[in-house]
Each structure stands twice: as structure tokens, then as C-alpha cells.
Amino acid sequence: MQDKIKKIVKEIEGYRPANEDDLEQFRIKYLGKKGVVNDLFVEFKNVAPENRKETGMLLNQLKNKAEEKFELYKKELVKNSDFSGENRDLTLSSSELELGSRHPISIVRNEIIQIFSRLGFNISEGPEVEDDWHNFTALNFPEEHPARDMQDTFFVQKNPDIALRTHTSSVQVRVMENTKPPIKTISPGRVFRNEAISARAHCIFHQIEGLYVDKNVSFADLKQTLLYFAKEMFGEKTEIRLRPSFFPFTEPSAEMDISCNICGGKGCNVCKYNGWVEILGCGMVDPNVLENCKIDSKKYTGFAFGMGIERIAMLKYQIKDLRLFFENDVRFLKQFKSAL
Ligand code: PHE
């Protein structure tokens, strides 16, 4: 009987399962109720007493070997079940990767940047937490002047000199302080105003400011630049209209309307039936502002303009509620696919 056991041990040692079924056959053959091991235990009862000890040991070894083998390959098959060879279809296509989309504010900001960079404007940025000088005083807002109330400001507690910038015109001051003309730059960024949130206003929004300072920069240059922008952004047929306005840092100042891109000027609820929609403020940089930034206002002139990116995006995509830009509902966001 000992020889028989040794032969079976060898058999088991050499065993490798081809697949899961094969391993199950192995289990039934050796470890099943009517399997080889149990049969041997039955046979063991007839072994002569003097051989019992040795045969018993061998028999236990056999049983352990068969069990170890079975456990080992069971684990291995579970681990590799995805790679079990012939059952795998390598021609199967993988599940599609869903790409995210850019936020509409980023898309429109990038488009505006591209339009102005074609005209030679570079990009400048400044801090969102600003001091009074850059946000107001250098821009010709006299202290205590009611013009400061045009922009409801968030001040930093206990320090009336520090506030969240209310417009990106603050970057205009920083650039002029640090660069000699010619200056041709646009500054995109977040701005903050203490306003109640509604479909048309938010306490955080985005602006792009443009600034051009050089010898002989004229209002005609400003108008031509903005006309080019309007046509590039809203289509070749777009017309512009400038209305006199007031900003402390520009003189003269204007607000610009475009012919309504929805109804083409015929009148609809977006343009409130007058055919024009306001999109930006602009003007010639006030000589006081140039002087505040140590630029000789006798030698240089400049124009500036500023627009809200949300407003442009709402017109471009016909979005009626500004709050949608901030809610980040994926159902809203995934409608905007763009290369920009
Ligand atoms: N800073 C102005 C605003 O926030 C916009 C503006 C910029 C107007 C530059 C004129 C020139 O409303």
C-alpha cells in the first residue's frame, strides 16, 4: 500500500489544471467522498499493525498534498479569471471614454482672448484681493466720491484699504505702473461685488479689461477695435453703437451696444424689443490715470474697455439665467463642447 500511496503523491505533484473544470475533476477524483484519498483510508483499516504508523503518515501526507494543490490552483484561477486564455475575446472594443467639457465661461474667455491676441494684445493678470489705490484712487475715484458707490465693494474686515477687486481695471493700473508704453494688453479675471444674486447679477463674476496706450491712440482706434471684436464674436453682420456714459477713469466714456444677435435688430425679448443689447463700457484713459501711473499724458494717450464674460456668454449661447454658470450642473455643462 505504501508504494501505491507514493505513486499517487507523485501523480499529484505533477498535476497542473488546464482550467476550472479540470481542477474540479481533480478535487472529485482525489478529495471527493468516493475519491482516491477516502478509498485509501478505507483500505488503511486492513493494514498490518506493524506497518500502520508509517502508512498512516504517508496517507496523511498524501491528503495534505492534494488539499494544498487544490487550494493553490483555486486561488490562482480566481486571481487570473479575467485572463484565462481561450474564453477571452481580444477583438471586443473597450468601453468608450467620456471626455469632460470646458466650462462655457472658459470657452468664451478663451475666444475673447484669441480675438484680441490677433490684434496684438497680450495678457496680464493681477491679484483678486486689491488695495484702494489700484481699485479706486489711481483710477481717478476721489475719496468719498459717490462714484465709488457704483460698485458695491466687499472690504476686508477692519481694513478699509483692502478689498476684493470690483473690476479688472485694477490690473490696468498695475500694468501701467510697471511697463513703458506702448502697452497693449487684456486682463481677464474674477471680480466681486456686493450684489444680491439673481438671474442677471451675481456677487462673483468675470471680466476682461482691455488697455491700449501709445502715442496718438484715438477714439477712432477704440471704435475700430471694438467693431472688429463684435463681428468676430457675434458674426459679420453685427453692428455697434456707442452711447455717452461715465466712468471716473475714462474721458470721454461710452457704453457699447451690439445689434441684437438673436433677432438681428428686429426686436425680441433679449433686446427688450429695441434691437440693441449693451455689452461693455469703454473710453479714453483719463489723463489723471496716466499721470497717477507715471506716464506722460502730454506724450501718450490710451483707450480702455471692460466687459463681463457672463454677459457675453449669455448672449452667445442664449442663456437666460446667470446663476447656471455657478451651479455646475453637469447636464448644463456638458452641452458646451469646444476646441478652445
Ligand atoms: N471697469 C468698468 C466696469 O467694471 C468697465 C470699464 C473698463 C469701462 C474700462 C471703461 C473702461 O464697469
**223-244 pLDDT, tens digit each:** 999 999 999 999 999 999 999 9
* Residue whose CB lies within 8 A of the most ligand 1 atoms, among 166, 167, 202, 310, for a mutation test: 167
Angle at 312 between CA 310 and CA 313, to 5 degrees: 60
Q: Quote the CA–CA distance of 23 and 36 in Å, as a whole number.
A: 15
The Å distance, Cα 102 to ligand 1 centre, comes to 27
Find the 125 Cα to ligand 1 centroid distance in Å: 16
What's the CA-to-centroid distance between 22 and ligand 1, angstroms? 79
- pLDDT band at 81, cuts 50/70/90? low
- Residue extents of the structural domains in the chain: 2-85, 104-339
Q: From CA 107, how far away is CA 337, in angstroms rounded?
A: 9
Could you tell me which CATH number the domain at 104-339 has?
3.30.930.10
pLDDT tens, 271-288? Answer: 888 899 999 999 999 999
Q: What is the mean pLDDT of the chain?
A: 91
CA 118 – ligand 1 centroid, Å: 22
Dump pLDDT digits (tens) for 129-188.
999 999 999 999 988 887 777 778 888 878 888 999 999 999 999 999 999 999 999 999
Q: Which of 8-17, 214-223, 284-293 has the lowest mean pLDDT?
A: 8-17
Atom 7 (ligand 1) nearest CA = 306
Give residue 154's pLDDT: 87
Q: How much distance in Å is there from the Cα of 157 to the middle of ligand 1?
A: 26
Q: How far apart are CA 294 and CA 35, in angstroms?
A: 100
Q: How far apart are CA 262 and CA 316, in angstroms?
A: 9
What residue ranges line ligand 1, CB within 6 angstroms? 167, 169, 209, 247, 250, 281-283, 304-306
Amino acid 21: pLDDT: 86
Shortest-distance atom of ligand 1 to CA 307? 5
Atom of ligand 1 nearest to the CA of 280: 5
pLDDT tier, 270 (very low <50, low <70, confident <90, very high otherwise): confident
Q: How far is the CA of 261 from the centre of ligand 1 (A)?
A: 23
Q: Is the pTM of this model over 0.95?
A: no
